[in-house]
Amino acid sequence: MHENSTDPGANKGIGYEVSRQLAGRGFHVFLGARNQNAGRKAADEIAKESGKTTFLVIDVADNASVTAAAREFAKAADHLDVLVNNAGIVVNGDNGILESSDELLRKTLETNTLGPLRVTRAFVPLLTKSKAPRVINVSSGGGQLTGGADGWSPAYCISKTALNGVTSQLATALPKFAVNSVCPGWVRTDMGGQAATRSVEQGADTIVWLASDAPQKLTGKFLRDRKEIPW
């Protein structure tokens, strides 16, 4: 039986690396992205190098798109073992909490917080058919309440704080699932920039571990480098 992973936002950066590594481990990866050309190209590249990979068009900020993606997935597979919610944005102008408009905050929350929730909701019927269903929400240390904020991209950080809340609620609502948040660290991606201290391989490590090797009983946690960190 092939294991299946859907990974919105997987056409580049951490999502691409997670997809590549999971395909190499024998997962049938369903790689999700809004951009169809980039998504298909990424899926084809991974399929040639690592293993079976299928592109799935999905815009996590659009409920109709998410519903359609779940429907398309169900045509190709009868269950889903691992859902990785990776899509995330930092909106231009996210520089100060007192200067952030309502619209900027709404746009950020729509993708970073509501996106993972609506995708999980849509795929729960397929995850329930797995013997060991797992949901992994890619969060950020910027969302930690412990230690206070440093003022960087407040809308993004608030959206990740809220995502951690979604993770905690989902873990309670889905007691047979393993549902966790991950902070990949400051990673050299388009979002993180080239000055970042971590490679995409380092950023992907805990996500891949949670998808494949972590104990199923590990749930409702926030992790970095395979260790629990404070909320």
Cα–Cα distance measured from residue 150 to residue 142, given in angstroms and rounded to the nearest whole number: 8
Which one-letter amino acid corresponds to residue 26? G
Is residue 16 among the annotated active site residues? Answer: no
**32 - beta bridge partners?**
8, 56
Cα–Cα distance measured from residue 162 to residue 74, given in angstroms and rounded to the nearest whole number: 29
* Active-site hit among 27, 30, 123, 156: 156
Provide the 3-class DSSP secondary structure of residue 81. Answer: coil
Nearest residue to 211 (alpha-carbon basis) of 122, 130, 103? 130
**Do 211 and 136 contact (CB within 8 A), yes or no?**
yes
Which residues carry out catalysis? 156
